[in-house]
Amino acid sequence: MRWLIGALGVAMGSWGAFLLLPLVDVNLALWFIGGPVVHDLLLAPLLGGLGLLVARWVPGRWRAPVQVGGLLTGVLLALAVPLLWRPFAGSPNPGLNDRDYLVGLLVAVAVIWLGVLAVTLTRPRADR
Amino acid sequence: MRLPTRESSPHTATRIGTWLGIAFGLCFVTGVLSHYVQHPPGWFTWPTRPVGLYRITQGVHVTSGVAAIPLLLAKLWTVYPKLFTRPLVKSVPHAVERGSILVLVGASFFELVTGLFNATQNYPWQFFFPPAHYAVAWIAVGALLVHIAVKLPLMRTPAEEVRRGPSHPGALSRRGFLLTTGGAAAVAVLATVGATVPWLRSVSVLGTRSAALPVNRTAGAAGVSAVDPSAWRLTVGDRRFSLAELAALPQTTAELPIACVEGWSASARWTGVPVRDLLALAGVEPGDVRVESLERDGIYRASTLPALHARDPLTLLALQVDGETLPLDHGYPCRLIAPSRPGVTQTKWVTRLKVVR
């Protein structure tokens, strides 16, 4: 079973590589390797560092809700990047990508942190 | 067995990996379908019903990709310490395994990041997106299968063996981490899915669609200026129709979605002449139909309508949308609108129908 899955994987990956080969240039290679590099050297240490700061400075009762709120905020920020940073966007299309994303993002983040506040204040203090 | 620490047990990694695998699987299957709908191999047929089929498959494609973003980050978080395992490589198989993981992570980020940007019509790269995104999808899923094959014994480790890790009061528990990851995926989906699910449009603050019926390529961008309705003709085979003749033919009205490859979709009520009626009037044998536009160039100036769609009574050359004359940006004087087709193939500003086989 393992060998079957592995062989299928190698076959599919090779097919992809065959399709990709004629398209490969420096730009595409950078985009391919950029994900792991940016994640491993920048994003993960940054998140780890923020986690340490939270563990160090945020009181126990607030710690988990703040972590959850921070993670959800981070996910929304990541999704908002292509909507807010658009020097490489195509020509504008009426009705597409033209909402006020900054306001939407701020409202969503505010809702998340109100949730953090509500959960922390209403949670029983059993874990202290 | 080494006692795993919080958030780094095979159990958590396996759980999140399973969710991520499901998201990648959905994304891959719907993506390959979308590729085949646009570049059909000989053996491939795509049904015309339900009329919203492509709307559903492409909505699932973009939505599962969005959900995979927090899942991928959570998955990497559970295994991040392993990146610093020393020695860097223990043996040839170990080197191959680490290499395959690098390919898997590279391909995964490539797919999710380029997909997310492309869905917002933002292209901060120099390659042509569709073939690159398609090729790397095969690499990502291939590397994922290799990864599953390598990790299968570890995935089968009973959960009890890995649950005995130390617990840290106050911080996120293993259960809390899983719940947060699921919650983050749900928040990501809610924030964007309104682009294709109308009743969530106001909740999806990061949704791409703002209007009831967006315009994906304006007449200006396509290089189509005002059309003179008295001079314009539609050529079908050897027959030519004026706009007045088209309007005098029996009209069909149908509720059909425009479903974009970029994941947004919008339904509208289209009125026009069925393509199969026009082919019959022109006396041409039905088959695959080449639909050409007034657009001078660009890869989307023409599309090929498969015979199955050309025969469908709901495949229209629409003259009206929602009871109004088609606006120029929506393809005046007439546009193709067929059930269950990608928006990019719903050619606007049509001038010619030609049976190609």
Handedness of CA A73, A74, A79, A80 (dihedral sign): positive
Q: What is the pLDDT of residue A115?
A: 96
Contact yes or no for A39 and B192 at CB 8 A: no
CB A40 within 8 A of CB B155: no
CB B271 within 8 A of CB B252: yes
Asked if residue A36 and residue A80 are part of one domain, the reply reads: no
Contact yes or no for B206 and A32 at CB 8 A: no
Asked if residue A53 and residue A13 are part of one domain, the reply reads: yes
Q: State the complex-level ipTM.
A: 0.94
Between CA B60 and CA B76 the distance in angstroms is 23
Asked if residue A69 and residue A44 are part of one domain, the reply reads: no
Contact yes or no for B142 and A68 at CB 8 A: no
Q: What is the pLDDT of residue B158?
A: 62
CB B353 within 8 A of CB B234: yes
Q: CB-hemisphere CA count at 13 Å for B16?
A: 31
Structural fold of domain B10-200: Fumarate Reductase Cytochrome B subunit (1.20.950)
The boundaries of the domain holding residue A126 are: 59-128
Domain B219-355 CATH (choose: 1.10.3720.10, 3.50.50.60, 3.90.420.10, 2.60.40.1180): 3.90.420.10
Asked if residue A24 and residue A63 are part of one domain, the reply reads: no
Q: What is the pLDDT of residue B299?
A: 80
Asked if residue A63 and residue A7 are part of one domain, the reply reads: no
The count of domains in chain A is 2
**Burial (CB count <10 Å: 0-12, 13-18, 19+), residue B158:** exposed
Rounded to the nearest 5°, which phi and psi values hold at B156?
-90, 0
Q: What is the CA radius of gyration of chain B?
A: 25
Contact yes or no for A90 and B123 at CB 8 A: yes
Asked if residue A72 and residue A113 are part of one domain, the reply reads: yes
Q: What is the pLDDT of residue B11?
A: 80
Asked if residue A53 and residue A63 are part of one domain, the reply reads: no
Asked if residue A65 and residue A13 are part of one domain, the reply reads: no
Between CA B109 and CA B201 the distance in angstroms is 27
Q: What is the pLDDT of residue A19?
A: 98
0.90 exceeded by pTM: yes
Contacting residues for B209 by C-beta, under 8 A, at least 6 apart: A95, A96, B194, B195, B196, B201, B264, B266
pLDDT tens per residue, range A88-112: 999 899 999 999 999 999 999 999 9
| Final residue of a structural domain among A19, A35, A57 | A57
- Residue A108 has its nearest CB partner, among B123, B138, B191, at B191
pLDDT tens per residue, range A34-61: 999 999 999 999 999 999 999 899 998 8
For chain B, domain boundaries: 10-200, 219-355
Asked if residue A46 and residue A68 are part of one domain, the reply reads: no
Asked if residue A81 and residue A51 are part of one domain, the reply reads: no
Location of structure tokens 């198989």 = B93
| Final residue of a structural domain among A57, A85, A101 | A57
Which residues of chain A make contact with B216, given a CB cutoff of 8 A?
A: 93, 96
**Which residue in A79, A106, A119, A127 has the most chain B C-beta atoms within 10 A of its own C-beta, making it the best mutation to test that interface?**
A79
Shortest Cα–Cα distance, B240 to chain A (Å): 32
Contact yes or no for B126 and A60 at CB 8 A: no
Contact yes or no for A6 and B210 at CB 8 A: no
- Residue A71 has its nearest CB partner, among B76, B106, B180, at B180
- Residue B120 has its nearest CB partner, among A17, A48, A82, at A82
Q: Which amino acid is at A56?
A: R
Which residues of chain B make contact with A64, given a CB cutoff of 8 A?
A: 170-172, 176
Asked if residue A91 and residue A45 are part of one domain, the reply reads: no
Asked if residue A120 and residue A64 are part of one domain, the reply reads: yes
The residue in chain A having the minimum alpha-carbon distance to the alpha carbon of residue B67 is: A75
- Residue B214 has its nearest CB partner, among A27, A80, A93, at A93
**Burial (CB count <10 Å: 0-12, 13-18, 19+), residue B134:** buried
Q: What is the pLDDT of residue B4?
A: 38
| Series of mean pLDDT values for 10-residue runs along chain B (357 residues) | 46 90 98 96 94 96 98 94 87 90 97 97 96 98 95 74 49 85 96 92 92 91 89 94 96 96 95 96 92 85 94 96 95 95 95 92
